[in-house]
Structure 1
Amino acid sequence: MKILKFKLLQMILFLIFCYMYVVAEAEEKNQKLRTTYVIHMDKSNMPASFDDHFQWYTSSLQSVSDSADMLYTYDNVIHGFSTRLTAQEAESLEKQPGIISVLPEVRYELHTTRTPEFLGLEKSEALFSTFEAESDVIVGVLDTGVWPELKSFNDTGLGPVPGGWKGECELGKNFNSSSCNRKLIGARYFSKGYEAEFGPINETSESKSPRDDKGHGTHTSTTAAGSAVSGASLLGFASGTARGMATKARVATYKVCWLGGCFGSDIIAGMDKAVADGVNILSMSIGGGDSEYYRDTVAIGAFTAMAQGILVSCSAGNGGPDSGSLSNVAPWITTVGAGTLDRDFPAYITLGSGKNLSGVSLYSGKSLSSSLVPLVNGANASESSSGSLCLTGSLIPAKVAGKIVICDRGGNAMAQKGVVVKDAGGVGMILANTEPYGEELIAEAQLLPSVTVGEKAGDVIKKYVSSDPNPVATINSGGTQLGVEPSPVVAAFSSRGPNPVTPEILKPDLIAPGVNILAGWTGAVGPTRLQSDTRRVSFNIDSGTSMACPHVSGLAALLKGAHPEWSPAAIKSALMTTAYSTYKNGEAILDIATGEPSTPFDYGAGHVDPVAALDPGLVYDANVEDYLGFLCALNYSTTKIKQATNKDFTCESGKIYSLRDFNYPSFSVPLRTSTEKGGGSDSTSTLKYSRTVTNVGTPGTYNVSVSSQISSVKIVVEPESLSFSEQNQKQSYTVTFTSSSMPSGTNKFASLQWSDGKHVVKSPIAFSWT
């Protein structure tokens, strides 16, 4: 009997051991499947059955896992906790009431404004090897001036100012000779045109000197070529090491814009002096330029700069998503549109209905009460027909006091809407996109708790307010998030083609980061630029094609340092033909305005890829004579050519000048509909284009391929291969487009690329029937 009991005990112990082993093995496997999540809780929505929030957090976690532990609990920037869960556990937890979001953790690094890493600069030893040559490159920035005390203009490690520099540090109010150094090597200001319009500058509100009182110029110049600054952020957002694209390049600033705007006479004076001073790159985040080139101040000055070997980079404009809204479209200008980064600044809204929605915010002050707050639509709190826009003085305090107000985007500055709400007694704001802005989210450092949401989320919130007799909500910030996908996407505000001046030239040329960009800031105004904003910061987050332009300016400086012999056209070509227009999965870059795939009228040649641009293989070069021939093809008279270029040039009589033969890195093919030609539905037209490429790589043979799914256009390239035996050798080819008629307003797209197995030299093709 004792032996039987002993064996039975052994068997029980063995079964217990096996069970424990299986459980342990299962738990070990489960742990391997777990990743870290941040659980954002709606603190005000805690059930009454819990005594405190920690108890509620614990219960919520235990309801999906009896073995997961909390890593942290949060009670300031957000309310909630972090833990490790399986995907199934996270999904189950997200469905519970009171959960605002279950966010997979993203790897954070002490890094930068994010753009150097996003663009691949940090991984390219080849670009860093140009250190010495890069320090000889001078980036001239025409803008609102500079705030020289920033660490972004630290000159530690830089050698003497380049010997060819002829500029100076111009003295003025709050600006002296010590304001410049070996980094900020020159600073000038131009105000005569402005003062002629508005009278003498009021020096109590504006510095009559190169000093930046607005912030725009400091932001653009530090984006292009600011020195590396560790520990940078805007009020804790986007923390890391801020740096420009060309950290060792020199900066010269030309203040041509004032609080009341920019005037052509001042701009042309600034460009003129910049050329004389010896800049290598001109960065101009200034709008305009949608008229004939001989009437366009920027185009005129840019031609002269190009003729002196200076690359001119300009912003495309913020007129998107309307078509044909571009500025600065001259072919000798590099025209830059805007895309997004893979970084976001999430914020969360919880409605009284239990619905949770997300947007973005850069608000860093005191949070709203943990309890839900009354919610009102600005349209119902105003006697004005445009009350939904929250314009100055439009809100009725009695209907707004103590409430979160929904305001529509548009009509006035986003930050100004927050001030309007605050002045009327509101305690928070939800800024809702309308149709023109779609799902594009621009973050602002508002002065009250706020969140910007896309059009769809805005419609959900407004519907809730209209259907609930006592609508309530709360807002919470989520800090900084990296690794956002998909990225980039084309910004809704980024101006689009087709080219309104010369449809045969595809514009913009390319896009670069221009949404929520961190860069240096003036000490004269707060991050919102509003008079009531008394905060002062060294870095600010701003958006616009103004922010995209200096990215390309700085990258051009890197290429100039690596290839000092390259012309402005060669540098632009390298940036364009190596740009990408698809994600890694092969899908086309999206347009945030529509949610649909974007086109070359949105992004030009694509999103800039500076590492690839360093070694493009082939370039489409052009010189002054080529651009003069371009103007002849436009039937410009000798007088108009002189007006546009400051050159005495007469088009040769009897010579055929054609826009189809202008050596541009992209193709734009305007076509006529059959009705305009007087033909039938099967009418066709044939157009032949010619191009010349220059080998800037190693000898080799390039083969052509055409990507097109357009049944209405036949594309033939002759020859189909180009062989190069030496560097700088040129070869020409022709492209014949045979097209069927399409309805007026139809646009179709294709691409042409040459490859030697290592390099891919890609050109977009845009067809438009009118």
Structure 2
Amino acid sequence: MALLLCKALFSLLLVFLVSTLQASGASPAETGKTYIFRVDRFAKPSIFPTHSHWYASEFADPVSILHVYDTVFHGFSASLTPSQAASVLEHPSVLAAFEDHRRQLHTTRSPQFLGLRNQRGLWSESDYGSDVVIGVFDTGIWPERRSFSDLNLGPVPRRWKGVCQSGDRFTSRNCNKKLVGARFFSKGHEAAGRLGGGGINKTVEFLSPRDADGHGTHTASTAAGRYSFRASMAGYAPGIAKGVAPKARLAVYKVCWKNSGCFDSDILAAFDAAVNDGVDVISISIGGGDGISSPYYLDPIAIGSYGAVSMGVFVSSSAGNDGPNGMSVTNLAPWLMTVGAGTIDRNFPADVILGDGRRLPGVSLYAGAPLKGKMYPLVYPGKSGVLAASLCMENSLDPKLVRGKIVICDRGSSARVAKGLVVRKAGGVGMILANGASNGEGLVGDAHLIPACAVGSDEGDLIKSYIASSAVATATIDFRGTILGIKPAPVVASFSGRGPNGLNPEILKPDLIAPGVNILAAWTDAVGPTGLDSDTRKTEFNILSGTSMACPHVSGAAALLKSAHPDWSPAAIRSAMMTTASITDNRFQPLDDESSGKPSTPYDYGAGHLNLGLAMDPGLVYDLTNDDYVSFLCSIGYGAKTIQVITRSPVNCPMKRPLPENLNYPSIAALFSSSRAGASSKTFVRTVTNVGAINSVYSVKVEPPKGVAVTVKPTKLVFSERVRQLRYAVTVTADSKNLVLGDSGAVFGALSWVDGKHVVRSPIVVTQIDPL
């Protein structure tokens, strides 16, 4: 019921916006806003030499126009009053309009953890991605890092048309054969500042592609950083730092700005520029907050990425950091690769040792003077019942209570490292950061400025109980450095966005998970490793966690696959990664959920964890064309005009509406009505393309969800030189009386095609929904 109601409400948003824009009567004090207008490009009168001339003459004052879009999207963005926008919307050539919105970033050893090995396998077959260009949409780049050296790289691919845009502390000389392009997009931000919505703080930012935040430098080097020897973050994670595709070229598109997010109008302009420049892969670790996703026709990331994918560009996006709550995954469009986060087999343990001798595990990247085993009084400000004190918010701690003590602070409401500064300001000597129940046992390392570590919810409760029951509670923190070979790994990160898909549950999201916890990568010189203004430390590398870090792993993986298989479509590349993904950890046990310690499900990890040791040779792939995506949009009830907002070209939906679950996706999600008694069946049609041995025979293997019957016809697929594609049908039958849904509200299974060498696996999800 909730899922269908959500879809119905979303479909009304555009109608609501139109009625709002058309509200009568513009007052003298009417506040301006930035709007994005989708225009029918075929309607341009021949008298105008370009669409730009047409827009400026017929729709808006040239001064008010911010961006003109003509590659992945056709239209423009402009700062107008609501009544002016309503007037533009009345023009018959204007298909739609939506307000510009602010979005947020989804904030060494990992290539080996993904199955990559020197001089063999995918790295060798793809020449480390040497002629593929990855476009990174983020906060820019700090180009002087070793990760972006062009030493021994061949010439820039001749097809490349991008530029190196100059600005504050950035010139064309900052680009090279590695960093082949750099642009920045600020007009949406600057318009927001003029309109009172908060602009760019030029005292801490660079009006150029230079990175003042660090996030963009980190994601770019994760995807395609060169080999950097003797890398570490203040001694943590020492070794050779490298990206997933070390020889791939980078093009940076700065769309996000320090402390002020990323605006839709600028993101859409970056998509337009990147595709026109000639990128092969786009990496975008950006999305909506709070796990809320807009319908595709109101989402510039979905619109821009459709235009990119339709022109052969693979787009990798982050799943969001609002887990472990259900339905928290974002970036849901089926043409996007949606990437969740998992751990790797490296950790940075820091143990809390209590006065009664107990040792409780935690995590920290603190690199200052150690406590050397000295015991200090331990205090929990939350005993007072004051929420701000329990969270160690600014000016909330009484120096008389915390001076000379280790303070336990609850996680939430402010930056984790900022809490330590509050403790230090009040005279505390150290901090223990305790997860709440919503974070469970999921931990990430932070480069704290005082002796501090993070502990899970259970450990936090134990420490608080110890304080409450002891006349004199004491503790110390033992920082143990870097530990390799951690088991189990990977584990689904507690913060990683989870399914089901809140827009179209027939499409399983996220697609898969990749390393996203405690990832070492290059960093900016503009801020310290914590990102706090008061942190004056400089570091070449930093360790961060988030689905933002997982996304560029897949972007780099796509670059390797594109280099090894230039003829593969974006859908084929995604399929190769999904059908070969791992569903077991390094103990050969099912993947665990970090937040609960229990086994995870496809709602948490999609098809599994990225495994590049197998993705180069998947055997079969599930391919998709632009027509398939149009059919999907028709199937979910979008009209021709709404679909054209996304696809750029006019479309005609068939009289009989297609079924969304028949999109040729590498996963299967069966939704049954909870009100229908007795057995119900659904049949799904899929088409596989043979990309392996020419003459091969695949047999089906089914792992049915508990209480569900699954049949497949045919049970064998025989490929030859003449037969490269074959269809099959999957019938899923469920009886509401026998269907026992788990905590996630679904049951899970899998379907695999096996030929003795390949296992082409697709998850099956079965759930019930309430009718409207």
Give the shorter-chain TM-score range: 0.7 to 0.9
User: Secondary structure of 1:204's match?
Assistant: coil
Q: Which amino acid aligns with 2:691?
A: V
Equivalent of 1:581, from 580, 583, 591?
A: 583
User: Secondary structure of 2:397's match?
Assistant: coil
Q: What does residue range 99-498 of structure 1 map to in structure 2 within 5 Å?
A: 113-122=108-117, 125-132=120-127, 134-199=129-194, 201-259=200-258, 260-288=260-288, 290-368=293-371, 370-380=373-383, 384-498=386-500
Alpha-carbon offset, residue 131 of structure 1: 4.9
Q: Which residue of 2 aligns with 1:704?
A: 700
User: Secondary structure of 1:299's match?
Assistant: helix
Alpha-carbon offset, residue 369 of structure 1: 5.7
Q: Which residue of 2 aligns with 1:626?
A: 628
Q: Which stretch shifts more, 280-289 or 115-124?
A: 115-124
Equivalent of 1:500, from 502, 512, 533?
A: 502
Distance, in Å, in 1 between the alignment partners of 2:256 and 2:237 is: 28
Contact 1:383 1:394 in 2 (8 A): no
Q: Which amino acid aligns with 1:155?
A: D
Q: Which residue of 2 aligns with 1:765?
A: 764
Distance, in Å, in 2 between the alignment partners of 1:297 and 1:285 is: 14
Question: After TM superposition, what 4+ stretches of structure 1 lie above 6 angstroms from structure 2?
Answer: none
Q: What does residue range 36-51 of structure 1 map to in structure 2 within 5 Å?
A: none
Alpha-carbon offset, residue 708 of structure 1: 2.4
Gap runs ≥5 in structure 2: 1-107
Distance, in Å, in 2 between the alignment partners of 1:521 and 1:728 is: 50
Q: Which amino acid aligns with 1:723?
A: V
Distance 1:150 1:331, change over 3 A: same
Q: Which residue of 2 aligns with 1:95?
A: none
Alpha-carbon offset, residue 433 of structure 1: 1.2
Distance, in Å, in 1 between the alignment partners of 2:374 and 2:213 is: 38
Distance 1:369 1:596, change over 3 A: closer
Contact 2:128 2:245 in 1 (8 A): no
Q: Which stretch shifts more, 167-176 or 199-208?
A: 199-208
Alpha-carbon offset, residue 567 of structure 1: 0.1
Distance 1:205 1:586, change over 3 A: closer
Contact 2:491 2:585 in 1 (8 A): no
Contact 2:128 2:247 in 1 (8 A): no
Distance 1:122 1:602, change over 3 A: same
User: Secondary structure of 2:282's match?
Assistant: strand
Distance, in Å, in 2 between the alignment partners of 1:313 and 1:370 is: 46
Q: Which amino acid aligns with 2:622?
A: Y
Equivalent of 2:719, from 724, 731, 740?
A: 724
Contact 2:373 2:478 in 1 (8 A): no
Q: Which residue of 1 aligns with 2:670?
A: 669
Distance 1:728 1:229, change over 3 A: farther
Alpha-carbon offset, residue 475 of structure 1: 1.1
User: Secondary structure of 1:576's match?
Assistant: helix
Contact 1:743 1:769 in 2 (8 A): no
Alpha-carbon offset, residue 726 of structure 1: 2.5
Q: Which residue of 2 aligns with 1:738?
A: 733
Residue-pair matches, total: 649
Contact 1:633 1:659 in 2 (8 A): yes
TM-score by length of 1: 0.83
Alpha-carbon offset, residue 586 of structure 1: 4.6
Q: Which amino acid aligns with 1:239?
A: P
Contact 1:368 1:427 in 2 (8 A): no
Distance, in Å, in 1 between the alignment partners of 2:759 and 2:390 is: 50
Contact 1:694 1:728 in 2 (8 A): no
Distance, in Å, in 1 between the alignment partners of 2:451 and 2:476 is: 9
Alpha-carbon offset, residue 129 of structure 1: 2.6
Distance, in Å, in 2 between the alignment partners of 1:717 and 1:313 is: 31
Q: Which stretch shifts more, 639-648 or 590-599?
A: 639-648
User: Secondary structure of 1:121's match?
Assistant: coil
Distance, in Å, in 2 between the alignment partners of 1:350 and 1:132 is: 49
Distance, in Å, in 2 between the alignment partners of 1:553 and 1:559 is: 10
Alpha-carbon offset, residue 727 of structure 1: 8.0
Alpha-carbon offset, residue 728 of structure 1: 7.5
Alpha-carbon offset, residue 391 of structure 1: 1.2
User: Secondary structure of 1:552's match?
Assistant: helix
Equivalent of 1:685, from 662, 680, 687?
A: 680
Could you report, residue by residue, the CA deviation over 1:73-102 in whole angstroms, capped at 9, with x for unpaired residues?
xxxxxxxxxxxxxxxxxxxxxxxxxxxxxx
Alpha-carbon offset, residue 274 of structure 1: 0.3
Distance, in Å, in 2 between the alignment partners of 1:365 and 1:747 is: 47
Q: Which stretch shifts more, 389-398 or 608-617?
A: 389-398
Contact 2:225 2:243 in 1 (8 A): yes
Q: Which residue of 2 aligns with 1:10?
A: none
Distance, in Å, in 2 between the alignment partners of 1:552 and 1:208 is: 29
Contact 1:695 1:726 in 2 (8 A): no
Distance, in Å, in 2 between the alignment partners of 1:524 and 1:213 is: 5
Distance, in Å, in 1 between the alignment partners of 2:298 and 2:494 is: 28
Distance, in Å, in 1 between the alignment partners of 2:381 and 2:222 is: 37
Answer yes or no: is 1:536 the counterpart of 2:531: no
Could you report, residue by residue, the CA deviation over 1:634-658 in whole angstroms, capped at 9, with x for unpaired residues?
1211111011222211113x34411
Distance, in Å, in 1 between the alignment partners of 2:111 and 2:584 is: 20
Distance, in Å, in 2 between the alignment partners of 1:369 and 1:510 is: 42
User: Secondary structure of 2:181's match?
Assistant: strand
Alpha-carbon offset, residue 427 of structure 1: 0.6
Q: Which residue of 2 aligns with 1:639?
A: 641
Q: Which residue of 2 aligns with 1:72?
A: none
Distance, in Å, in 2 between the alignment partners of 1:343 and 1:583 is: 14
Alpha-carbon offset, residue 117 of structure 1: 1.3
Alpha-carbon offset, residue 672 of structure 1: 1.0
Distance 1:585 1:457, change over 3 A: closer
**What percent identity do the matched residue pairs reach?**
53
Distance, in Å, in 2 between the alignment partners of 1:337 and 1:584 is: 19
Could you report, residue by residue, the CA deviation over 1:241-280 in whole angstroms, capped at 9, with x for unpaired residues?
0000000000000000012111000000011100000000
User: Secondary structure of 2:341's match?
Assistant: strand
Distance 1:728 1:439, change over 3 A: farther
Contact 2:224 2:247 in 1 (8 A): yes
Contact 1:225 1:243 in 2 (8 A): yes
Alpha-carbon offset, residue 587 of structure 1: 2.5
Alpha-carbon offset, residue 371 of structure 1: 2.6
Q: What root-mean-square deviation, in Å, do the aligned CA atoms of Structure 1 and Structure 2 show?
A: 1.5
